[in-house]
Amino acid sequence: MARVTSADVAREAGVSRTTVSYVLNDTPGASVSRVTRERIRETATRLGYAPSAAARTLRRGRSDLVVAVLPDWPTGSVVDTLLDHLTDVLATRGLFVLVHHHRDSRSLADLWRAVTPHTVVGLAPFAPDDLRTMQRAGIRVVGTAQNADETSFDVAQRGIGALQAEHLVAAGHTRIAYARPDDPRLGRFADGRLAGVRAACAAAALEVPAAVPVPAGEPAAAAVAAWRDAGVTAVAAYNDDVALAVLAGAAAHGLRVPDELAVIGVDDAPAGRVAAPPLTTVAQPVAQQSEHLAASVLAAIDGADAPPWPDDPALVVARGSA
């Protein structure tokens, strides 16, 4: 069974391909009689005509496809929400979003041999080579500062870390430690958040916190013992899973939380909300972030200026642990 083309529809409906194209694309300014219109549509449906995306793209020089490039690391619900919203917003412009999970080790160049995207949205920074290839291929790139090596996401990470530290400082802690994840793929995130914690501590004239790796899913008994011996009274954790591991470590040593050790996470994960004590955490206002991403992409497509990053994107949810 050969593919059904617009020529088949035209022949069957007794018109030219031109008319078929006009009708099926609702080309403005094309005036085709009502009955012809109906007949063409009916014929297309009956034959099961599906236009060739490749031919369309080749002819128009641009596709309706937006590729979102995600980093390799486990992304979670925030990114899901972001993409969901982006998909909705772009759908109103007739654009489709497809997601590519990118391994840093591999070049993106080969991907453009398989697809001709309208626009590429980067949620991770691109390698300079990749950026150059895309620019040369005339692909529009959004979501990452094109010349700086820092994305708005990096900035957001720093803000999150700062918020954690400021909360701890405000509660009177003076010796703060940082619990970072041991998954190397999370490094870039962790570095950003840690930088924020350190900046806030420095601003409060406190000693700069040391970072110790705390694997999620194992009680952090050793780390907690070391902190206790060093006089640390509060720890900022990379995320809620890491914070929960710290909580378990404290329990193992009979340390009372938050009196003897305060703990703050990031994510506002369900597990933290039902921990004992309930975990204090930093929540990201996903709705706001989603709006911003979608607006940035739209602006880029329209050649407008990018909207400013919202002022105060994250917030502390104070519960029992800090």
| Structure letter (DSSP) for residue 119 | E
DSSP strand pairing (315-317 vs 280-283) = antiparallel
- Is 36 an interacting residue with respect to DNA (CB under 7 A)? yes
Binding flags for DNA, 53-82, as an x/- string (CB under 7 A):
--xx-xxxx---------------------
Interface region with its own copies, contact rule CB under 8 A, candidates 9-17, 31-39, 128-136, 148-156: 128-136
- Is 256 an interacting residue with respect to its own copies (CB under 8 A)? no
- Is 299 an interacting residue with respect to its own copies (CB under 8 A)? no
Long-range contacts of 258-262 (CB under 8 A, 24+ apart): 258/171, 258/234, 258/320, 258/321, 258/322, 260/228, 260/233, 261/224, 261/227, 261/228, 261/232, 261/233, 261/234, 261/235, 262/168, 262/171, 262/173, 262/233, 262/234, 262/235, 262/321, 262/322
- Choose among 133, 137, 200, 132: nearest CA to 166: 200
Instruction: Note whether 285 and 314 are within 8 A (CB).
Output: yes
Residue 217 binds what, of DNA, its own copies, none (CB under 5 to 8 Å, by partner type)?
its own copies
- Is 112 an interacting residue with respect to its own copies (CB under 8 A)? yes
Interface region with its own copies, contact rule CB under 8 A, candidates 11-19, 29-37, 43-51, 287-295: 43-51
- Is 21 an interacting residue with respect to its own copies (CB under 8 A)? no
Residue 45 binds what, of DNA, its own copies, none (CB under 5 to 8 Å, by partner type)?
none
Instruction: Note whether 317 and 109 are within 8 A (CB).
Output: no
Interface region with its own copies, contact rule CB under 8 A, candidates 93-101, 145-153, 195-203, 311-319: 93-101
Q: Give the footprint of its own copies on this chain (CB under 8 A).
A: 1, 3-4, 48, 50-58, 61, 63-65, 67, 72, 74-77, 80, 83-84, 87, 91, 95-101, 106, 109-116, 132-133, 136-138, 216-219, 240-241, 244-245, 247-248, 251, 269-276
